Amino acid sequence: MQGITKRSLAKDAVLIIVGIFSAALGLKGFLLSSHFIDGGVTGISMLLSSLFRIPLAFLIPIINLPFIIIGYRQIGRAFAIKSTVAITGLAVCLALVKFPDVTPDLLLTSVFGGFFIGAGIGLAMRGGAVLDGTEVAALLVSRRNSGVRVGDVILGMNIFIFAAAAYFLGVDIALYSMLTYFTASKTVDFLIHGIEEYTAVWIVSDHHEEIRELITDKLNKGVTVLNSEKGFGKRGEQAEATKVLYSVVTRLEVSRLRDAIAEIDPLAFIVQHGIDDARGGIVKERPLH
């Protein structure tokens, strides 16, 4: 069990470190020289940096700080610690590491800048952290208002950001920046397997009772227990009864859930798929962790 935890932490650390350097490359190697911005909290930081000549390495952790506090309260201490380390690492990387200005072409700058930023954000999320606090804020708003989805909140924030960019930086830069954000968001979606905010997880294991208690008591998530029978295998048809667990979690929680299940049963059969939205139940009514 301890070995699995150490391997999991090492894997998360590698993902977060690679994500930091990828995002820093997208920012310093592509966007900053052309004054393009991204969406979300990073975009706000870049816009303020362009307007007031404040170093981006200083603004990113400062503006993300409130969202880290929200993440600590709503998601958990481990998430907050990882995200703090990731965002601090990004700020240090921006301040100290030199990246070449890769290309003067504006179209290539917007597309590949967005790609590397999106890859960095996606890899950090795979490691259980965030480099941009936008999703944490959007998740909190959607939990307080069941009629508002996470995607709606993020869209509204970015409309405001790019409208401000068009006013202060010019329409051309705003349009290129929108292309940057679109590329970054699609890259994130690819890396975390889907654009959905929620993920349904099916679990088949002989240790189903221990896993059920883990999900309900330790992770504070809802779980549905389905009566089932084992199907076909090497020995042909089997009529042995078993239990199948079904739970819905946010995509920020999938990594922690899978790691926790692996500690109980490394051979558990797990299937996950994205769902468009989830309403009611423990997903909305109790803390994420």
Segments forming the whole domain that contains residue 219:
198-274
User: How far is it, in rounded angstroms, from Cα 120 to Cα 245?
Assistant: 33
What's the confidence (pLDDT) of residue 229? 76
Is 19 within the bounds of a domain?
yes
Is 14 within the bounds of a domain?
yes
- In angstroms, the first-to-last Cα distance of the chain is 21
| CB-neighbour burial class of residue 47 (10 A; exposed 0-12, middle 13-18, buried 19+) | buried
- Verify that 263 and 144 share a domain, yes or no: no
Distances (CA, A) of 126 to 113, 178, 195: 20, 24, 14
CATH of the domain at 247: 3.30.70.120
Q: What is the pLDDT along the chain (289 residues), one digit of tens a residue?
A: 444 477 888 989 999 999 999 999 999 999 999 999 999 999 999 999 999 999 999 999 999 999 899 888 888 888 899 999 999 999 999 999 999 999 999 999 999 999 999 999 989 988 888 898 887 877 676 666 666 666 677 778 889 999 999 999 999 999 999 999 999 988 887 786 544 467 889 999 888 899 999 888 888 888 888 888 776 656 656 667 788 999 988 777 888 888 889 889 988 888 988 775 566 665 544 333 3
- Asked whether the beta carbons of 169 and 246 are under 8 A apart, the reply is no
User: How far is it, in rounded angstroms, from Cα 213 to Cα 100?
Assistant: 51
- Verify that 99 and 150 share a domain, yes or no: yes
pTM of the complete model: 0.70
Domain count, the chain: 2
- The total of other beta-carbon atoms located within 10 Å of residue 251's CB is 20
